[in-house]
Amino acid sequence: MSSIIELKGLYNKQIEGVKMMVFLPIDQRLFVISETIRNIEQYFVHWEDSVISPKELSSLTSYYFKKAAEIETQYDFTLLMWELIGGFRNGHTWYVDKIMVPKYGHQNFILEPISNEWRVKNSFDEELKMGDLIVSVGGKNLNEWYQEIGKYIGAKKETSRRIKLGNMLSFFLNAKNIEVEYLDSKGSLRTKNVQCLDVNNYIKLVENASITTQGYWIKENKVAYIKIPSFSSKSFEEEAIKLIHKFKNSPSLIIDLRGNGGGRTPFDLINFLMKIPYNSWLERSRHPEWMYKRYTNEEFKFQEDFRYTLCGPIKYYPKDIDNCYQGEIIILVDKYTASAAEDFTMPFKYHKRGTILGESTYGSTGQPAYVNLTENINLGIGSIRVYYPSGDEFEGIGIEPDIQVNVTREDIYNRTDSYIEMALDVLK
Query: Is 70 exceeded by the pLDDT of residue 13?
Result: no
pLDDT of 205 = 64
In terms of domains, do 350 and 239 share one?
yes
In terms of domains, do 160 and 227 share one?
no
Q: Is residue 129 part of a domain?
A: yes
Residue ending a domain, among 207, 228, 246, is: 207
Q: Is residue 7 part of a domain?
A: no
Q: Is residue 5 part of a domain?
A: no
Q: Is residue 119 part of a domain?
A: yes
pLDDT of 208 = 56
pLDDT of 340 = 96
Q: Is residue 20 part of a domain?
A: no
| Domain region containing 136 | 109-207
In terms of domains, do 180 and 221 share one?
no
Q: Is residue 39 part of a domain?
A: no
Taking the model in full, what pTM does it have?
A: 0.91
Residue ending a domain, among 186, 207, 228, is: 207
pLDDT of 18 = 44
In terms of domains, do 233 and 194 share one?
no
Residue ending a domain, among 156, 190, 207, is: 207
Domain count, the chain: 2
Query: Is 90 exceeded by the pLDDT of residue 181?
Result: yes
Query: Is 70 exceeded by the pLDDT of residue 15?
Result: no
Average model confidence (pLDDT) for the chain?
89
**Top-confidence residue, 123 or 207:** 123
Q: Is residue 70 part of a domain?
A: no
In terms of domains, do 268 and 324 share one?
yes
Query: Is 90 exceeded by the pLDDT of residue 161?
Result: yes
Lowest mean pLDDT across 38-42, 203-207, 257-261 = 203-207
* pLDDT band at residue 5 using 50, 70 and 90 as cut-offs: very low
In terms of domains, do 344 and 390 share one?
yes
Residues 146/162, Cβ–Cβ less than 8 Å: yes
Query: Is 70 exceeded by the pLDDT of residue 283?
Result: yes
Query: Is 50 exceeded by the pLDDT of residue 30?
Result: yes
In terms of domains, do 178 and 125 share one?
yes
pLDDT of 3 = 45
**Which CATH number fits the domain that encloses residue 365?**
3.90.226.10
In terms of domains, do 203 and 218 share one?
no
In terms of domains, do 222 and 160 share one?
no
Q: Is residue 53 part of a domain?
A: no
Lowest mean pLDDT across 116-130, 238-252, 284-298, 371-385 = 284-298
Query: Is 80 exceeded by the pLDDT of residue 269?
Result: yes
**Which CATH number fits the domain that encloses residue 173?**
2.30.42.10
**pLDDT of 99-132, one tens digit each?**
888 888 888 899 999 988 999 998 888 899 999 9
In terms of domains, do 298 and 189 share one?
no
* pLDDT band at residue 157 using 50, 70 and 90 as cut-offs: very high
In terms of domains, do 175 and 234 share one?
no
Residues 246/215, Cβ–Cβ less than 8 Å: yes
In terms of domains, do 157 and 266 share one?
no
